[in-house]
């Protein structure tokens, strides 16, 4: 990974394919600028290879895996992916240090690279900008990918939004954005009180209305949006789409996608 300016490649078939989104596992393929990246490694190696094959990609075609944070639904498959593949992993600096300290495997490190949230990097013609988000895991980040005038942002696992996230997302062509829950459903659930407080707190997860308010706050909203990380217990596609209608955002986007825990969701840019 390098901070040197690289020649920006022409846009070639930009697409975003979410393989899984939710508390049981997360993984998204980003194709941009002739490169292929994965965001998070929260699904099994078998699941990964099957999904990649289904969209005409092999594991060896992946240029790097970007990790947003250490929670198991985003990171649990890392040891197996690392052992069974030659993938390169790019992690927040504090996360990388924690992984290195916690591993006893010889050779760990030659395929691991660190980034610092708030800095921008040129990665083989694609500019990558990670920014911190408010979540209860060390150095959790959102990630923006840009190349040849196309901008894709992945921003999930945050309890509240801030001005710097709006700046990152403003003018994006595509945003993968968390819409995790309906607060009333959380409060009425059988979740223990501490877990309810976590979900609803400023370092938890965005509600449907928080997600929609964030998009509405952008001066230049995305052409396409994919809402992800929907809770299977405290949300539903119907509940989210009802909120979309209530806020008058039905026609605000060229396309709205709802990422799913159990099936692939594909967007072409």
Question: 164: part of which helix (H) or strand (E)?
Answer: helix 163-169
DSSP sequence for 97-148: HHHHHH---TTTTTTEEEE-TT--EEETTEEEEEEE---SSTT-EEEEEEET
- pLDDT of 229 reads 98
Q: At what angle do helices 208-217 and 237-246 cross, to 10 degrees?
A: 40
- pLDDT of 109 reads 61
- pLDDT of 102 reads 66
Residue 79 CB neighbour total at 10 angstroms: 15
Instruction: Show the domains of the chain with their CATH numbers.
Output: 15-268 (3.60.15.10)
Residue 149 CB neighbour total at 10 angstroms: 9
Phi/psi at 203 (nearest 5 deg)? -115, 25
Residue 218 CA from chain centroid, whole number: 19
Which tokens is 239 given? 């509940």
Report CA torsion sign: 85, 88, 91, 96.
positive
How far is CA 185 from each of CA 3, 81, 191, 199, 233, rounded to the nearest angstrom?
45, 36, 10, 11, 8
Sequence-distant contacts of 187-196: CB under 8 A, at least 24 apart: 189/233, 189/234, 191/233
- pLDDT of 207 reads 98
Is this model's pTM higher than 0.75 or not? yes
Q: Which residues of the chain have pLDDT under 70?
A: 1-12, 102-109
| Length of the chain as a residue count | 269
């Amino acid at each position: 990974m390098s901070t040197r300016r690289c020649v920006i490649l022409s846009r070639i078939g930009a697409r975003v394919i979410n393989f899984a989104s939710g508390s049981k596992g997360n993984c998204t393929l980003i194709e941009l600028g002739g490169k292929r990246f994965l965001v998070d490694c929260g699904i099994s190696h078998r699941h990964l290879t099957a999904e990649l094959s289904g969209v005409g990609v092999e594991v060896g075609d992946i240029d790097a895996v970007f990790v947003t944070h250490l929670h198991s639904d985003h990171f649990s498959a890392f040891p197996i992916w690392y052992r069974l593949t030659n993938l390169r992993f790019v992690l927040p600096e504090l996360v990388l240090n924690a992984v290195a300290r916690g591993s006893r495997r010889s050779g760990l490190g030659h395929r691991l690279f660190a980034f610092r949230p708030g800095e921008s990097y040129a990665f083989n013609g694609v500019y990558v900008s990670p920014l911190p988000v408010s979540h209860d895991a060390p150095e959790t980040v959102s990630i923006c990918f840009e190349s040849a005038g196309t901008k894709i942002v992945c921003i999930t696992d945050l309890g509240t939004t801030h001005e710097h996230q709006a700046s990152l997302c403003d003018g994006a062509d595509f945003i993968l954005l968390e819409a995790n829950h309906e607060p009333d459903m959380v409060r009425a659930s059988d979740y223990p009180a501490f877990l309810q407080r976590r979900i609803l707190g400023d370092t938890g997860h965005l509600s449907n209305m928080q997600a929609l308010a964030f998009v509405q706050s952008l001066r230049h909203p995305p052409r396409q949006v994919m809402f992800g990380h929907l809770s299977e217990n405290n949300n539903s596609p119907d509940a989210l789409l009802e909120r979309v209608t209530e806020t008058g955002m039905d026609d605000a986007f060229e396309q709205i996608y709802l990422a799913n825990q159990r099936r692939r969701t594909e967007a072409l840019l």
